[in-house]
Amino acid sequence: MPHTVNSIVPSDSLVTVIVINTFALLLFGLQHSVMARPSFKRWFTRFIDPSNERSTYVLATAVAIGGMCYLWIPFCTVIWQVESEMWGYVIRGIAVFGWLFLFIATFMINHFELFGLRQTFNPLQGKSAPTATFKMSGFYKIVRHPIQTGVLIGIWAVPVSASSHLVFATGISVYIFIGLYFEEKDLVQEFGETYLD
């Protein structure tokens, strides 16, 4: 990418920055939420094989994230900056912990199923498509949503933050909490009392 959310660059007009950055966040947020809903999945699998639905969703998410990062216009000045080199490393270590926490959590449910690979390749090998099962192992025993928790730790644990990063991290955080509201409803509908317990 030509820049990061923390780049300090001469920015366009404030209106342009607000419009494009809002569009960038919505591009990801809407794609990731709409395509995850059961009603969309039912409609979408009328056009593609159901075994390819999850991998198509993941691919669309990757494109949306790439688009969001590419479109994002960094703006304004530094909001906070940790001067101590030691504390800078500590904060970066916390961020690395968050991203590793997320990555490891994907294997606790089934990394290859999460990314749609199992659903796509099982039928090609003559195996039946996996059915959704409720799993509560590893981090899931102590944190309801460890993947999202890892994202939140990773995006907020930064030793330097421009106002651009602050807006980006806030937007992603708001999206996570809105997305979790709908995901919780879907999980209760799918697993009922098992999930509520």
pLDDT digits (tens, 9 = 90+) for 130-151: 676 777 788 988 888 999 999 9
- The rounded percent of the chain whose pLDDT value lies above 90 is 48
In a domain, 66, yes or no: yes
The pLDDT score that the predictor gives to residue 130 is: 66
The pLDDT score that the predictor gives to residue 124 is: 79
The pLDDT score that the predictor gives to residue 12 is: 67
In a domain, 162, yes or no: yes
The pLDDT score that the predictor gives to residue 27 is: 93
Please tell me the distance from the alpha carbon of residue 73 to that of residue 17, in angstroms, as a whole number: 6
Q: What is the pLDDT of residues 165-175, one digit of tens each?
A: 999 999 999 99
Q: What backbone phi and psi angles, to 5 degrees, belong to 162?
A: -80, 165
In a domain, 8, yes or no: no
**DSSP-assigned letters across all residues of 19-72:** HHHHHHHHHHHHHHHHTTSHHHHHHHTTTS-GGGHHHHHHHHHHHHHHHHHHH-
Q: What is the pLDDT of residues 54-90, one digit of tens each?
A: 999 999 999 999 999 999 888 878 888 999 999 999 9
Domain count, the chain: 1
Please tell me the distance from the alpha carbon of residue 176 to that of residue 173, in angstroms, as a whole number: 5
Average pLDDT of span 8-32: 85
- Look at residue 161 and tell me whether its pLDDT is greater than 70: yes
In a domain, 144, yes or no: yes
The DSSP secondary-structure symbol of 101 reads: H
Q: How confident is the model at residue 157 (pLDDT cuts 50, 70, 90)?
A: very high
In a domain, 9, yes or no: no
Domain that holds residue 94: 14-196
The pLDDT score that the predictor gives to residue 9 is: 66
- Look at residue 17 and tell me whether its pLDDT is greater than 90: no
Q: What is the pLDDT of residues 44-59, one digit of tens each?
A: 999 998 889 999 999 9
- Look at residue 4 and tell me whether its pLDDT is greater than 90: no
In a domain, 156, yes or no: yes
Q: What backbone phi and psi angles, to 5 degrees, belong to 62?
A: -60, -40
The answer for residues whose C-beta is within 8 angstroms of residue 137's C-beta and 6 or more apart is 108, 109
Is the pTM here over 0.85, yes or no?
A: no
The pLDDT score that the predictor gives to residue 194 is: 80
In a domain, 70, yes or no: yes
Mean pLDDT over each residue of the chain, to the nearest integer: 88
Yes or no: say if 180 and 29 are a contact pair by the CB < 8 Å rule.
no
